[in-house]
Chain A
Amino acid sequence: MTTVVPERLTRIREIIAENIDVHIEFADSTLFIDELGADSLKLIDVLSALEMEYSIVIDMDELPKMVNVETTYQVTAAAAGW
């Protein structure tokens, strides 16, 4: 398990909120699709925005794991080598 860096978590949360178009507070365990109404297209937007933000490449196979902020952080951290 990667150690969570608070500044990175905050930024990833912002990127997620912007890309799945959510304007309410949500927990790190809140599910994007089931609880926030996101669809697969929005999740690709999230993946793409994270790649651009950190100049990394996230394998498309990782997309199904990105179900909430916590797992998205882990996927990003693994791709970035944090």
Chain B
Amino acid sequence: MSTAAVTPAASLPPETLVITGWSAVSPHGVTRQAFAAGVRGGAKTAVKADVALGTLPSPNVCTVPDFDIPGLLGAKGTAKMDRLTALTLVASDGLLLDAEGNKAVRTDEATGVVLGISMGSLENMTDLLRQSYTNALPFHVDAGRIPFGSLNHAAGACAIRHDLKGPNTTVAGGRVSGLLALNYARRLMSQGRATKYLAGSVEEFSAIHAWFEYTALAAGDPSPLLGEGCGLFLVEHAGAAERPALAAVLSIETGVDIDDDPRAAVTGCVRRALNRAGVTADEVWAAVPCAAPTSAGRAESEALAALVPADALSRVPSMELLGDTSAASASFQIQAVLGVAEADPTSSGRIALVSAVDRDGAVGCAVLRLLGEHA
């Protein structure tokens, strides 16, 4: 293999968005290290669902192991906390705090938060709805859980926990939402609205989520193996980065499949992203599709296979091993690339491509240049 031209982070244009940190709370475990090791080892994460979840459309799930909310976040304020918020807060702790719980990343008045979701905490919202319909009176609901039912609660709770006073946003875009969040951070930082961002996406597993997915299945598709988790990034401008850059975000393109032809929509989106990044498909070292267990997901994989070198598609183990993590998936895809790259000295300077496609027609693609330094 030829040696790629390595672009040191210092030589990037100062306005380039760079990823300088990441954390993952995933079916591999609650730490970034567990995620990276699990991805590199190609570990399966599916387990038999807890009987407490009741009857499920699929007997196996890819849930975050040992996710004890009071144990991880303390008893205060967590009694009624939804799983989505808890996943986000644990991921934000992993990103901003050191092992002793002290702040390890400097944040300021202009540090923003943008979080991608699909439908928020379905369990919380449907429980409140059920209480309203089935209890003696329609307002006999658990009022303490109402704040957790708002779609932007997790992003807000993350900002309050870490005193982040910059723009605070939640974007909902299904599997594309991780890319939408990164793009949102890029746009606001380029406008001077924020100096750095916590950007990422999150999905929770619940029985109601499993049944929602089941009812949305296309004829012939198997009941999906569902996953969950939260992937967060710390992003800064290359010229102002306070930590070593792990990757430069060269481009993010999104679109909508209006012709009911997901393969063409993904192909077009990937081509636009490569063009904007100024690289060719042949230069792609690693390409990671979201691998959604749907016809759109299969079309996405076919589109990438026709565009990028074959070895790029096998560089990172399939995201299927994490289950269908829906809104969290695009963040996990980028993190899977970073996890593989950090153990591969030949990755520095190479191009990585991540794509996403949702059943509602949203498509997205991000092109990154890997910058991790290796001893």
Tell me the A residues contacting B by CB distance below 8 Å. 18-19, 21, 23, 42, 44-45, 48-49, 51-52, 55, 57
Contact = CB atoms under 8 A, between A and B. Distances in A.
Contacts of A52: 131, 135, 140-142
B69 to A, nearest CB: 14
B161 interface: no
Contacts, number: 33
Interface stretch (B74-82, B86-94, B193-201): B74-82
B143 A49 contact: yes
B76 A48 contact: no
Interface of B: 75-77, 79, 131, 135-137, 139-144
Given A44-B143, A49-B144, A55-B136, 10 more contacts: A21-B77, A21-B79, A23-B75, A23-B76, A45-B144, A48-B144, A49-B142, A49-B143, A52-B142, A55-B135
A51 B76 contact: no
Contacts of B75: 23
Contacts of B131: 52
B143 A21 contact: no
Contact of A18 (B79, B135, B136): B79
Interface of chain A, main secondary structure: helix
A18 B140 CA distance: 17
Contacts of B76: 21, 23
A18 B80 CA distance: 9
B135 A19 contact: no
Nearest to A52: B140
A19 B79 CA distance: 9
Nearest to B136: A55
A43 to B, nearest CB: 10
Contacts of B144: 19, 42, 45, 48-49
Contacts of A57: 137
Contacts of A45: 143-144
Interface of chain B, main secondary structure: loop
Contacts of A21: 76-77, 79
Most buried by A among B76, B131, B142, B143: B143
Contact of B143 (A18, A23, A48, A55): A48
A21 B141 CA distance: 18
Given A21-B77, A23-B75, A48 B142 contact: yes
A60 to B, nearest CB: 11
Contact of B141 (A18, A23, A48, A55): A48
Most buried by B among A18, A42, A45: A45
A36 to B, nearest CB: 12
Nearest to B145: A45
B133 to A, nearest CB: 13
A74 B140 CA distance: 20
Most buried by B among A42, A44, A52: A52
A25 to B, nearest CB: 14
A10 to B, nearest CB: 18
A55 B77 CA distance: 26
Nearest to B77: A21
Nearest to A48: B143
6 contacts: A21-B76, A45-B143, A45-B144, A48-B139, A51-B139, A52-B135
Contacts of B143: 44-45, 48-49
Most buried by A among B131, B136, B137, B140: B140
Contacts of B139: 48, 51
B318 to A, nearest CB: 42
A69 to B, nearest CB: 18
A51 B140 contact: yes
- Shortest 5 CB-CB contacts between residues of A and residues of B: A48-B143, A55-B136, A45-B144, A52-B140, A45-B143
Contacts of B142: 48-49, 52
A48 B75 CA distance: 22
